[in-house]
Amino acid sequence: MENNRFTRRNFIKLGAAAGGAAIAGPGLVATAFANRHPHPRPTSLKYLDRNMYRKNTNVIAHFDPGGEREAKMQLMAIGSRRFMFMRGDVIDITDPLKPVMFNPKAYVGNQVQLAYNRKLGKWILMTGAGIAGTFSTPKAPHGKYDDPSMIQQNINQKGLRGVRFYDASDPAKIVPLSQWSCDQGDPKREVQTGSGTHRNYYDGGQYAYLDTAPDNTFTRMESSVRYYCNCIQIIDVSDPTQPKFVANWWVPGQREEEEDAYKKWREYGDKESWTTLHGPMYVPKKVEDGGKYGYSAYGAFGMMIHDLSDIRNPKLIGRHYPKMKLGSLPFHTVDIVRLDRGFVITNPEVLNPDCNEPYQPLRVVDVRDPTKPREIAQLPVPVPPADAPYRTFCDKRGRFGSHNPPHMKAPGKADPNFTVYSFFNAGIQMFDIKDPAKPRNIGYFIPPQPGDLDDYLSYPRDAGAVFVEWDRKLMWAGTGTGLYCVTSPSLGKPVLEPMPVREWTLAGLNAGHA
C-alpha cells in the first residue's frame, strides 16, 4: 500500500501556522461520551412534540408520511424528468407536488453518490458500505472503552467494506457494475479489514474520493463511538467496472505504529475527540479538467485543503484548526459551492441527545488564500418558535445541532446569498449569507417528531438531510416522518412544472447528460 501523506514535521508546522497547535501536553480528561440513550434535563419535555412549525416557509408536498427518510439524497435528470435517490429507492419528483415511488429497493447502500460520466455516456451510482459503530449502551456508557467486545465485533464483521458501483442510466433498472474493498483486497472476501466507508464523493469523472480506514492499523480514534479512524482514499474509476487504487492520505499518528506522532496530538488520550476524517474530500472542479484543490472536514483535526496537482501524492497546503470545546464532531462537512465568493461553510454534527455536550458552531471560512484559511463568522444558533413548548431546543427531546448542508451536486447554481441546513430536532434552518461576515437566521421548517419516547433510536434524528433544487427553488427535507417539499420566498418563486436541467451547481458536473 502506498504511503501517500504529508510528513509529520510539516503537518505539525502547518497546523500551528493555520490557527492551532498540532502538539500538546498530556491528554485532556474526557467530560462526556457520545451515546445512544437520553440525558433529559429538569426542564426537558416529557413527551415528543408532534407539532409542525414554519417561519418563512411553506410545505407543498409530503412523500411517505411517517416513513423514515432522514437520509442523504442525490438527483439525476433525463430530459425534463427528475429522479431522487435515497434509502435504496428511486423517487420520481418531476412533479414536485406529487412525488411518487418509481423504483423501490433498487440498489444497496445509503452513502449515495450519483453523477453522469460523459466519456461513458452513463449515469454512474456509487454507494458505500462500512462497519458498525461502537456506540454506548446503558451497560457500557463509554462504548468500546467499557466493552472491548465491540472492537472484536468490528474486526470480525462480515461483508463489503468499501463501495459499490452501478449503471443508473435507466432508473427503472439499476445494473451492478463492481465492488471495491478499501483495503485493496478481493471485495468478495467474507471478512475484510479497515472500516469500509462512511461518506464519499464522486463527480462523474476519473476519480472518486472515499472516507475510510484502509486497514486494521488505523485505530487512533479517540471517540468511543467508533473503533477505526478514517483517512482520505482516492481511487481511479475511469472504468467503474474495474476501480484502481490511487492514493491514501492520513494524519500522522492515525496508525498504530505511529506512536510518537500520536503523542503529539492536541487530542492525545482524551477518549472523546473525533480524530478521524468525517469527509469526504470535496473537489469542486474535476482534476482531469484542471481542478487543483480538495476540501475536507476532518473531525477534531479541523478543515483541510489539499493540492491535488499530483493526484498520487495529495499535499496538505491549508488547515483551519481552531481551538474547540471538547465534544461532538466539530468538522462534519465543508460546503464548497460559494468558492467564487471566496468562502466555504463548515458545520459540525452533534452526537449526544439533550445537549449533553458543548454546542459546536457552523463556521464561515475565507479561503481566498487556500494556504491560509481564515474564519470570518459563525452562523447564529437557532432559537425555537415562540409558540413551541420549550425555550431552547436543548429541552426538546433528541439531538440539537446541524447535520448536513444541501448537497454540492444539484440542479442550478447555488444561491450566493442563501443557504439551509438540516438541524435534527430544529428541522431545517435557513440563513441569509449576503454578508458572509454577518449571517442571519431567516426561517425554518420543523416537522413533527417521529417515534416513541421509550425508544430513543426512533426519534433523535428528526431532520437529517436537505437537498435543494436551485433552479426550481425547491427544498427537499429528509426527516423521520417522511420527505417534505418546502418552499420559501427567501429562496425565490418556486417552479412547479417539469423542466430540464440546464446547468448544475459545480462547473463541468453532469455535462452532456441530456
Residues in the chain: 514
The answer for residues whose C-beta is within 8 angstroms of residue 446's C-beta and 6 or more apart is 52, 53, 54, 385, 426, 427, 428, 462, 463
Please state, in angstroms and as integers, the Cα–Cα distance from residue 400 to each residue in 30, 427, 463, following that order.
21, 9, 10
Structure confidence at residue 20 (pLDDT): 34
User: What distance in Å separates the CA atoms of residue 312 and residue 320, rounded to the nearest whole number?
Assistant: 23
CATH numeric code, 8-25+49-487: 2.130.10.10
Please measure the distance between the N-terminal and C-terminal CA atoms of the chain and give it in whole angstroms: 40
Structure confidence at residue 37 (pLDDT): 76
Structure confidence at residue 214 (pLDDT): 98
Q: What is the pTM of this model?
A: 0.93
DSSP designation for 153: H
Cα angle 412-72-459, degrees, rounded to a multiple of 5: 135
Domain boundaries defined on the chain: 8-25+49-487
User: What distance in Å separates the CA atoms of residue 481 and residue 467, rounded to the nearest whole number?
Assistant: 16
What single letter denotes the amino acid at residue 217? Answer: T
Kindly provide the residue ranges of all beta strands, DSSP E only, lying in 107-213, ordered along the sequence: 113-117, 122-129, 162-167, 175-181, 196-197, 201-202, 207-213
Structure confidence at residue 460 (pLDDT): 82
User: What distance in Å separates the CA atoms of residue 415 and residue 434, rounded to the nearest whole number?
Assistant: 10
CB-based burial label for 104 (10 Å; 0-12, 13-18, 19+): exposed
Q: Pick out the chain residues at pLDDT < 50.
A: 1-33
Structure confidence at residue 18 (pLDDT): 38
DSSP designation for 17: H
Cβ distance 176 to 164 under 8 Å?
yes
User: What distance lies between CA 310 and its chain's CA centroid?
Assistant: 26
User: What are the pLDDT digits (tens) for 353-375?
Assistant: 999 999 999 999 999 999 999 99
Which cell numbers in the block locate residue 480? 423521520
Structure confidence at residue 136 (pLDDT): 86
CB atoms within 10 A of CB 334: 28
Structure confidence at residue 30 (pLDDT): 33
Which cell numbers in the block locate residue 243? 476501480
Cβ distance 144 to 224 under 8 Å?
yes
Structure confidence at residue 138 (pLDDT): 82
CB-based burial label for 232 (10 Å; 0-12, 13-18, 19+): buried
